[in-house]
Structure 1
Amino acid sequence: MATARDIMTPDATCVGADESVLAGAQKLTTLGVGALPICGTDNKLKGMLTDRDIVVKVLGAGKDPESTKAGELAQGEAVTIGADDSVEEVLATMKNHKVRRLPVIDGHDLVGIVALADAARALPDSKAGELIDALSSDR
């Protein structure tokens, strides 16, 4: 049975909670990704910084991306999945929490991210369709 570890993108780069949103945006650009985990000084996951967050919550709200800290955009406890949890559990977690990117944790350590595309590739077509449909509705 496939696990989150089998389908994740490993070695996720974090943006520090104390780093600016601008620094986060530059990391997104350099890495060619749409989201980064926000990690605290204790190396624990605080949330996710997405390109949409930057546009809507910072630029659209008239905030300065250079003085706004990435940690300010972390909302509550981050939704995660265990590295050894099944792909079915990944699917259920993504659907239940309506998230397109799921940080993968091994103990307390961030070890990777499962993106919607990763999950869709690992699932049978019918299950991939269900996941995409669930994440696309009621946004």
Structure 2
Amino acid sequence: MLVRDVMSTGIVTVPRDATLHEAVGELLANDVGSVIVLADDQPTGIVTETDALEAAHESGAPLDGIDLGRFCEGAILTTEPDRTVQAVARRMADDGVKKFPVVDGLDIVGIVTLTDIVYHLSDIRSEAQRLADRHYDWSG
């Protein structure tokens, strides 16, 4: 099964110059667990619910006083729509992340989350079993 089969296409974004207050507003308004931070229409960071809580707790500052720059340090991990779900799940486990923006070339086309993968787990297992059965038929 491919990422395109399980990803969500309704991504929520905020501009790089937004505040954490604005990002949290988008989380709440859209009932999502993360927003992608964009600069020049390119993903430069991601803010999750946990990130927002940690930033507010650590800084003690009001959310509108917290710049999103702290979420844009380093490279953002992304994946492509034609990757296998198994490969992305392995990367999630290896890198300790639960959300990957999905990019096709320079365009953001969706987001795949651990929740998306868990939701489709029975389909993934069924596909794996069909492939194993087909392999057995070829080798037998």
Query: TM-score normalised to the size of structure 1?
Result: 0.81
Post-superposition offset of 1:94: 0.9
Q: Which amino acid counterpart does residue 81 of structure 1 have in structure 2?
A: T
Post-superposition offset of 1:121: 2.4
Distance (Å, rounded) in 2 between the aligned partners of 1:106 and 1:29 = 27
Q: Aligned in 2, Cα 1:126/1:9: closer, same or farther, shift over 3 Å?
A: closer
- Residues 69-117 of structure 1, C-alpha deviations (whole Å, 9 max, x = no match): 2233223111111111111111111111111111111111111111111
Where is the helix percentage greater, Structure 1 or Structure 2?
2
| Maintained 8 Å contact 1:46/1:71 | no
Larger radius of gyration: 2
Alignment of 1:1-139 (within 5 A): 2-40=1-39, 42-124=40-122
Distance (Å, rounded) in 2 between the aligned partners of 1:51 and 1:121 = 20
Q: CA RMSD in A?
A: 1.9
Q: Secondary structure at the match of 1:47?
A: strand
Post-superposition offset of 1:35: 1.0
Post-superposition offset of 1:125: 9.3
Post-superposition offset of 1:124: 4.6
Query: Corresponding residue for 2:128?
Result: none
Distance (Å, rounded) in 2 between the aligned partners of 1:63 and 1:33 = 23
Query: Corresponding residue for 1:134?
Result: none
Distance (Å, rounded) in 1 between the aligned partners of 2:124 and 2:109 = 28
Q: Percent identity?
A: 27
Post-superposition offset of 1:45: 0.6
Distance (Å, rounded) in 2 between the aligned partners of 1:105 and 1:62 = 34
Query: Corresponding residue for 2:131?
Result: none
Q: Can you give the 5+ residue segments of structure 2 that lack an aligned partner in the other structure?
A: 126-140
